Amino acid sequence: MVTNTEVKELGHFINGAIVPGKSGKFSDVYNPSLGTVIARVPIASKEETQQAIATAKAAFPVWRALSVGKRAEIVLKFRQLLTERSDELMELICTESGKTKEDAKGEITRGLESVDLAINAPHLLKGEYSVNVGGNINAYSTKAPLGVVAAISPFNFPVMVPLAITSMAVAVGNSVILKPSERVPCSALFLSELWKEAGLPDGIWTVINGDKDTVNELLESPAIEAISFVGSTPVADYIFATGSKYGKRVTALGGGKNNMIVMPDADLEQVSNAFLGAAYGAASQRCMAISTIIPVGEKTANNLVKVLADKISKLKVGPYTDPEVDFGPVITQHSKDTVIGFIDRSLKEGATIVCDGRNPDIAKDSNGFYLGPTLLDHVKPGMEIYEQEVFGPARNVVRVDTLEEAIELINVHELGNGVTIFTNNGAAARKFTSEIEVGMVGVNVPIPIPVGYHNFAGWKRSRFGEGHMFGPDQVRFFTKTKTISEKWFEEDSESVSTFAFPSNND
């Protein structure tokens, strides 16, 4: 079992150094595997947040003026350090989030994809050039950094999401302020040390720990040019509305109810194995986790549920120090209670339970926040557990008669993050990918998360704003374009006034 009794007092990372909190307010950081407090993170006051913003703003001009090649060198050095010290970072992720080592390692690997893309900033920042667009005038465009930008990240990916929403922002010349989840602050502070060692100038990377008041200060500050957020849909809605009100560029990614359609021709052994990891990995605390499996046809449903019941009953939940566990605890006791509440209410609404994970064996001997895998059958649209995002290992089976019915169910839901279909029928796959109204779509791919050089974002109320979490659109989000038209006169050339609107007829 995990053993850790030391309670550390953390700080903020401002102007190149860890500084203690001054507000006197702290939040406990738990080891979810033990249910014990391992650290106390300071909650920034308004004055501390304003100081962090002022420091970032003061540092920006020097970083902006540095050549993009030199900035890329620093990002590359950061990547090297991240790779060299990945084992330390993996341990931090496991300790403060409860993830298994395999899952934490995968998170770091996916985070590195965003850093890799940022290293290519010199190429991605290239503008356009047109010669003699008319009247011996040349036109060209350049991309400039915005200034100070803020990133607000969730607890479920302590490293991948912060890297995804900050790496390109740094590389293209901005000052970045990260407000990590107060539940997992240690990983963000570790990244700060690596940026410092990589040679990033003081003030360009800031970590400010805090709560809603801290977020509001970032949203309202006139010095912050853009906000990038990943979290729940209600908070994403608030972030977008408030940030936009104060004139900021905002991208806010919310939650998802991600579905896996299973056609009658699909191999149920392949489907069930794919579903297990996609549904229960990381204790189902992923915005791209499969929450609902939709078998088409009664025979498909009956056979699939039978196969799933057998496989789910063999899954093991426990601490990350046990190499045989499939997933760990949820993040807090409150999260555990919330998931159990969803299960209890779904049974009252008419769902039937196939696998019951509300009281796993490990919970009898541990104070960790453990839930086993739960599978509910005969879940219907309109039930709370179907309509709302459940951040914990309670997954649903919704039975339909046709592919058309499945597509309609998914399309009318307010969330549209991810979806996948398992089939060997190309026509069914084509119909599905053409008609489905979801941002990230898979065909025989259980979790259709794009690689770091493709854009990541959902549709509908899974995304507010037009930005993306990673991919080439990050460059557009974190820069502003300047278009320049220039003409050089030859000596003794004649000129006359014209009052017609400029055109390219010359």
Would you please indicate which residues are annotated as catalytic (active-site) residues? 287
DSSP letters along 446-461, please?
A: SS-PPPTTS----EET
> Which pair of tokens denotes residue 355?
């696998």
367 phi and psi angles, rounded to 5 deg: -90, 5
> Which pair of tokens denotes residue 133?
């667009």
Task: Count Cβ atoms below 10 Å from residue 281 Cβ, excluding itself.
Answer: 22
Helices in 85-204 by DSSP H: which ranges? Answer: 86-97, 101-119, 121-124, 160-171, 185-198
d(CA 228, CA 226) in angstroms, rounded, equals 7
Q: Point out which residues pair with 40 in neighbouring strands.
A: 9, 28
User: Burial code of 71-103, b = ≥16 C-beta within 10 A, e = fewer?
Assistant: bbebbbbbbebbeeebeebbebbbbbbbbbbeb
189, 179 in Cβ contact below 8 A?
no
For residue 21, give the amino acid letter: G
51, 206 in Cβ contact below 8 A?
no
175, 206 in Cβ contact below 8 A?
yes
**Residue 240 buriedness (CB in 10 A; 0-12 / 13-18 / 19+):** buried
How far CA 273 is from CA of 280, 315, 323, in Å, comes to: 11, 11, 19
The dihedral through the CA atoms of 189, 192, 197, 202 has a sign that is negative
> Which pair of tokens denotes residue 200?
């990033």
3-state secondary structure at position 359: coil
Of 256, 268, 258, 291, the closest CA to residue 422 belongs to 268
The single-letter DSSP state of residue 200 is P
